[in-house]
Structure 1
């Protein structure tokens, strides 16, 4: 299983969401991408946008940086 980190630190919304959607299309079932961002709103917008999919989303925060891992189901 692969995981790709997508650096979105400094990118304002909706850029992290757009990068998440673009990169999600490039991964296979069981693979993950992690959006790394300094904007707390990105987690909620990504969760909402991916509701219609079978993706699982995990959000972790560490010292003002959010790690949003999206795994294709």
Structure 2
């Protein structure tokens, strides 16, 4: 699983970093994006919906989210 550390990154940086990774992963693979900005969750959700990606967001620590994104073509 590819991990993207976006702690401290403000939008749109996390979405751009996710886009770069999604261009290189294969069908069925997952990546995990870690963020500490709640607005990122909304933007990642929109990006995933627009690109037909599955995602799951979980707040693992107060104010820190792990978002697992999978490519299923």
Q: CA RMSD in A?
A: 0.9
Give the secondary-structure state (helix, strand or coil) at the position aligned to 1:23. helix
Number of matched pairs:
71
* Deviation at residue 50 of structure 1 after TM alignment: 1.9
Counterpart of 2:41 in structure 1 is 43
- Of residues 5, 12, 21, the one that matches 1:7 is 5
The reply on whether 1:69 has 2:68 as its aligned counterpart is yes
| CA distance in structure 2 between the aligned counterparts of 1:52 and 1:17, rounded to whole angstroms | 12
| CA distance in structure 2 between the aligned counterparts of 1:38 and 1:52, rounded to whole angstroms | 23
Uncovered stretches (5+) of structure 1, i.e. residues with no partner: none
**TM-score normalised by L of structure 1:** 0.90
The reply on whether 1:52 has 2:50 as its aligned counterpart is yes
Greater percentage in helix: 2
List, as ranges, runs of 4+ consecutive aligned residues in structure 1 with deviation greater than 4 Å: none
